[in-house]
A = this chain, B = another copy of it.
Amino acid sequence: MAANAASVNVASVNVTSVDVAAEAGVSQATVARTFSSPHMVSEATRQRVHDAAQQLGYVPNAIARSLKSQRTNIVGAVVPAYGEYWQSVVTEFSRRLTERSRQLLLFSFSEADQVESMLRAVQQYRLDGLVLASAAIEYDQLSSMAATSMPLVAFNQPAAAGVVNSVSVDNELGMSEVADHVADLGCRSAVFVGGLSATSTDRVRFGAASARLQHHGIACRYVEAGAFSYEAGYKTGCHLAGDLVGSASDESERPDAVIVAGDELALGVVDGLKSYGVDVPGDVVLTGFDGLPQAAWDGYDLTTIVQPIPLLVAEAVDILLPSDTKLKNSTKPVERVVPGVLRPGRTTRP
């Protein structure tokens, strides 16, 4: 009847393992063990402790646990704030980490110059691992992070391979397949639309595409959109439209293939071209790279290289949290390269 007879108190003040110990008539150590290594506690006391904890509304303090155990169960990720691709990567990381009882601490930046201070913040939290997913990270920042004891993995950041652990889609292979595909269609001249030429991803993809195209005797010009966004692609598409159907340029030199460095960018280019009356794939064929869900949507059905994001992420997580007993303490950085898969779509099909 009395109001204070509530069976479950909510923690009005901070309830600690000491309080629970007193309530259960055991030592603090036993309470700690009950929650962190239950198998070391007898069935009977475990029950008593749980009851007492329930009674008092006790929840173990992860901060204190981390301080003592030197493990946070948290993995950090430094990722660009914008872009469909990065959003799906973050989502997949979070999902995967949850599966392995870890959480994701997100450090997202919109400007490259934020990365520096962000990395400093990262180091304050003693994370169990860190994903670096930005092409904007400088080499010396990378190596300075590598010197930390924090497990690191660079995600889709070609320039980082060899310096730190890295996981990446096979850009060379992917772009080669694209080039072959385009050559098979009988194209004679191509334009490569890049996002930011300063990023290693951009350089590597253009390099691979143009090399393979050249092997087929196809020239390939580079155009920089300025970002990997839809908007940047749209603008570029509008600019390109003139070159592609304009009567000014020589028919024989007129590009008949547009190879775009990323899907979001590609979707913008498609729409930009269409807005100027350029028909895809009628006037030009067009390809993307990444395999975003949106690229597969019926409205676009873009020909692209599908990155196996779940696989890439799984690899990255495995590097950070080696599950196997074979904990790799090798001095060499791990380097995993995973192939993507060409998904032909309407943008290259007559």
Interface residues of A (CB under 8 A from B): 10-12, 59-67, 72, 74, 81-82, 87-88, 90-91, 94-95, 98, 103-110, 114, 118, 120-121, 123-126, 144, 147-149, 230, 234, 267-268, 270-272, 274-275, 293-294, 297-300
Contact = CB atoms under 8 A, between A and B. Distances in A.
B67 A95 contact: no
B94 A108 contact: yes
Contact of A95 (B108, B144, B298): B108
Nearest to A74: B105
Tell me how many chains of this kind the complex includes.
Answer: 2
B108 A91 contact: yes
Contact of A59 (B66, B123, B272): B123
Contacts of A59: 120, 123-124
A106 B294 CA distance: 24
A299 B107 CA distance: 32
Contact of A63 (B72, B81, B98, B299): B72
Nearest to A76: B103
A109 B114 contact: no
A314 to B, nearest CB: 15
B230 A293 contact: yes
A98 B105 contact: no
